[in-house]
Amino acid sequence: MDEADNLRVRLRVVTASRKVNEEALKRVLRLLREALRSCGKPAKRARVLILGVSHRPNLRDVEGSIVRDLVEMLQNKGIRVKVYDPLFSYSELIKMGYPAEKTLTRAAKDMDCLLITVGHDRFKHLNLRRLKIAMRKPAAIVDLGRVLDCEEVEKEGFIYRGLGRGI
């Protein structure tokens, strides 16, 4: 009996965890659509570069990361996705099944939006001017990792949306 109760509790935790992840994905999609709409671009056929596959900042830890589900959801919505994470090599990202590029500049080429999913320290020092040159205009940045200064991003000419910032 004890084992059955324990199993039920674990199943409820897994179910609750999945529900939380699904809600998080829906929030991300809403933010992304709003950012693209502000650029005058439809989400369908948009090009989005996801920055970061790790679950936590500055660690090579993908367990628990929602990025795989996020990539799949966006692709199912007709959004073209690329992935870049400076903590993983190009070949590691490809082995994980991500559509990746070798460099950030190459990955950003012709993208409509950067979607920062984790607050790696390296993302705090992005060369926004170089990224802006590589991306299609107008371009957006959706900052889930809360690593960029929204005023600086907007000063460079990007549309900015950040999770938990009321923007």
- Domain-wise residue ranges, the chain: 2-162
Count CB neighbours of 61 within 10 A: 14
Kindly give the residue spans of alpha helices, DSSP state H, lying in 39-147.
67-76, 90-95, 104-108, 128-134
Structure tokens at 5: 């109760």
- CATH superfamily of domain region 2-162: NAD(P)-binding Rossmann-like Domain (3.40.50.720)
Q: Indicate whether this model's pTM tops 0.85.
A: yes
pLDDT tens track for 8-62: 666 666 565 666 667 888 899 999 999 999 999 999 999 999 999 999 999 998 9
Residue 167 predicted with pLDDT over 70: no
Residue 156 predicted with pLDDT over 60: yes
Please answer whether residues 84 and 116 qualify as being in contact, where contact means their C-beta atoms are separated by less than 8 angstroms: no
Average pLDDT over residues 77-94: 97
pLDDT at 21: 67
pLDDT at 34: 96
pLDDT at 165: 61
- What is the spatial distance between Cα 69 and Cα 72, in angstroms, rounded to a whole number? 5
Radius of gyration of the chain (CA): 17
